[in-house]
Amino acid sequence: MSDKLAYRIDLTGPSADRFDEILTPAAVEFVAKLDNEFAGRRRELLDERRLRREKLASGEEKLGFLPETAHIRNDESWQVAPAAPGLEDRRVEITGPTDRKMTVNALNSGAKVWLADFEDANSPTWHNMIDGQLNLYDAIRRDIDFTGENGKRYTIGDEPATIVARPRGWHLVEKHIRIDGRPVSASLVDFGLFFFHNARQLLARGRGPYFYLPKLENHREARLWNDVFRFAQRELGLPQGAIRATVLIETITAAFEMDEILYELREHAAGLNAGRWDYIFSVIKNFSEHGADFVLPDRAQVTMTVPFMRSYTELLVRTCHKRGAHAIGGMAAFIPSRDPEINANALEKVRQDKEREAGDGFDGSWVAHPGLVPVCREVFDQVLGGWPNQLGKLREDVVVTAEDLLDVASAGGEVTEEGLRANINVGLRYLDSWLRGTGAAGISNLMEDAATAEIARCQVWQWIRNGTKLADGTAITTELAYEMLREELGRIHAELGAGNRLDDARDIFVETALGEKLPAFFTTSAYARYLTS
């Protein structure tokens, strides 16, 4: 596509209306420059991830706080950059996909921040990725105005939420953009296109290019992001430090490196978020073969108040506030319902979750649905009083050891037939939805997304591998799981009717939950097989 460059760029995704406004030669070359500069380091870090996972699985490595970075943890003097405009008060953050309707609804939801999601809530089809960029492009320029199929008019109101984009994680690639035949890092595509088109606009409008960084496993991955930011700012002639990034602490390995992650990103860091669903997934994945003490009960029983989860969130608040960074709470999976009883229960469950977080010192939290903005706001209004955050609440009382973070057995609970069936049912339904291009779905009154689906399939694998027994003494075996899979498929088929992708969903589930090996992510192989043209 370009004669001037030393490398060949190929765009292989199908074109659609206005995609050329995002995929301009200059924007694509910017992504190619990022790739040229950082692809090698990304590859090395992914290799390190794989090796470390093998060492953790075999017991060769035991997780702990790193001795070689103790000086960073013990140094009281450093702080992260001050909160940037639009990020001082983050009491309510709504998350969600970037389709046009949800973009407007999220911006108008009354939340302070909108996490515009290219990650857990997204099925990374080419259309979703570029259409999402287009919607953000228009939203930032306040140029969205349309009428829905039902006649409802959508336009952005006077006080839209601050946009924080979440690019895909380091493990994913974008196969529709190839450099010298090689697919490009999905993180660099999502970050690069958003930054190239919008950074200047956002700064001119009194905001900035803000990001959530998902699924980091250690501080060297944070250093890579920081270097990407420095490079990108230099390329566009923007001041260093214009970007702000909030890092999701959603892997068990990153929980041991919160200080170090903030330190690496300190000129750009805005805070940490307790990404509880991927965190649970990471715990299951990394300790999947560590025996009964590491087997978690039914997902519904792994609440945020079980000791090992509470230790993680308490340490997160303490670490953030020591460094002047915001601590943002996680996602309660309950969503509003038209059924008044289920709805009241969902609101109460969300209220309790937000009360715990607000009481523990978090500065704000996530909601999955506009109908949950008021309850989250109410709870945080009460603890914040007239203040925009609780950065002054240092939580010096919190002492969390490595043993506390690793005390998975503290979850207690049991594995039930209902829990096993639910994992299979939700796994299949979610995969069907993801294959059809929708990455977040309401299933049985809960929000499900890529992270919760990873839990569903990993739990089944772990329970089989450990011969875990159901409450009635029946051992969970591959045969039992297959039997339930057939039963659940029958049920779901009847409900979903024609046009479903259940056959493919079944294949993905079998491969990632019932196979001999536990794949690191379902998204990597499923993307390559089903979402690329």
Ligand X SMILES: CC(=O)SCCNC(=O)CCNC(=O)[C@H](O)C(C)(C)COP(=O)(O)OP(=O)(O)OC[C@H]1O[C@@H](n2cnc3c(N)ncnc32)[C@H](O)[C@@H]1OP(=O)(O)O
Binding site for ligand O=CC(=O)O (CB under 6 A): 120, 248, 250, 275-278, 330-331, 451
The answer to whether residue 94 forms part of the interface with ligand X (CB under 6 A) is yes
Catalytic residue (one of 90, 166, 266, 299): 166
449 as an active site residue: the answer is yes
With b meaning 16 or more CB within 10 Å and e meaning fewer, what string describes 175-194? bbbbbeeebbbbbbbbbbbb
The answer to whether residue 458 forms part of the interface with ligand X (CB under 6 A) is no
Task: CB nearer to ligand X: give 332 or 505.
Answer: 332
Among positions 277, 461, 463, 509, the unique one binding ligand X when judged by CB under 6 A: 277
Among positions 34, 45, 102, 375, the unique one binding ligand X when judged by CB under 6 A: 102
Could you say which DSSP state residue 208 is in?
Answer: -
The helix (run of H) or strand (run of E) holding residue 147 is strand 145-147
> Could you write out the three-class secondary structure of 466-508?
CCCECCCCCECCHHHHHHHHHHHHHHHHHHHCCCCCHHHHHHH
Q: Considering only residues 226 through 245, tell me which ones interact with ligand X, judged by CB under 6 A.
A: none
CA dihedral 445, 451, 453, 454 (to 10 degrees): -150
Dihedral sign for Cα 79, 85, 90, 94, please: negative
* CA–CA separation, 423 and 426 (whole Å): 5
The answer to whether residue 106 forms part of the interface with ligand X (CB under 6 A) is yes
How near is the Cβ of 386 to ligand O=CC(=O)O at its closest, in Å? 30
How near is the Cβ of 248 to Mg ion at its closest, in Å? 6
Among positions 53, 73, 101, 351, the unique one binding ligand X when judged by CB under 6 A: 101
- CA distances from residue 140 to 135, 187, 196, 199, 457 in whole angstroms, order as listed: 9, 21, 13, 10, 37
97 touches 128 (CB < 8 A): yes
How near is the Cβ of 416 to ligand O=CC(=O)O at its closest, in Å? 23
The answer to whether residue 374 forms part of the interface with ligand X (CB under 6 A) is no
Task: CB nearer to Mg ion: give 138 or 278.
Answer: 278
How near is the Cβ of 120 to ligand X at its closest, in Å? 3
How near is the Cβ of 47 to ligand X at its closest, in Å? 26
Could you tell me which residues are beta bridge partners of residue 272? 247, 327
Among positions 449, 468, 505, 513, the unique one binding ligand X when judged by CB under 6 A: 449
Residue 419, binding choice from Mg ion, ligand X, ligand O=CC(=O)O, none, Cβ under 5 to 8 Å by partner class: none
Task: CB nearer to ligand X: give 31 or 247.
Answer: 247
The answer to whether residue 128 forms part of the interface with ligand X (CB under 6 A) is no
Among positions 134, 249, 296, 451, the unique one binding ligand X when judged by CB under 6 A: 451
Residue 121, binding choice from Mg ion, ligand X, ligand O=CC(=O)O, none, Cβ under 5 to 8 Å by partner class: ligand X
489 touches 507 (CB < 8 A): no
Residue 476, binding choice from ligand O=CC(=O)O, Mg ion, ligand X, none, Cβ under 5 to 8 Å by partner class: none
227 as an active site residue: the answer is no
Catalytic residue (one of 35, 259, 353, 449): 449
* CA–CA separation, 366 and 386 (whole Å): 20
* CA–CA separation, 125 and 122 (whole Å): 9
| Contact window for ligand X (CB under 6 A) among 179-187, 305-313, 368-376, 507-515 | 368-376
Q: Which amino acid is at 198?
A: N
Task: CB nearer to ligand O=CC(=O)O: give 255 or 489.
Answer: 255
Task: CB nearer to ligand O=CC(=O)O: give 411 or 451.
Answer: 451
CA dihedral 62, 63, 68, 73 (to 10 degrees): -150
Task: CB nearer to ligand O=CC(=O)O: give 13 or 519.
Answer: 519
User: Residue 345: is it exposed, middle or buried by C-beta count within 10 angstroms (0-12/13-18/19+)?
Assistant: middle
Among positions 35, 45, 56, 96, the unique one binding ligand X when judged by CB under 6 A: 96
**Residue 418: which residues within 8 A CB-CB, separation 6 or more?**
298
- CA distances from residue 26 to 235, 236, 262, 476 in whole angstroms, order as listed: 12, 11, 32, 55
* CA–CA separation, 356 and 329 (whole Å): 10
Kindly list the catalytic residues. 166, 449
Residues that bind ligand X (CB under 6 A): 94-97, 101-102, 105-106, 117, 120-121, 152, 277, 331, 335-336, 368-370, 440-442, 447, 449, 451
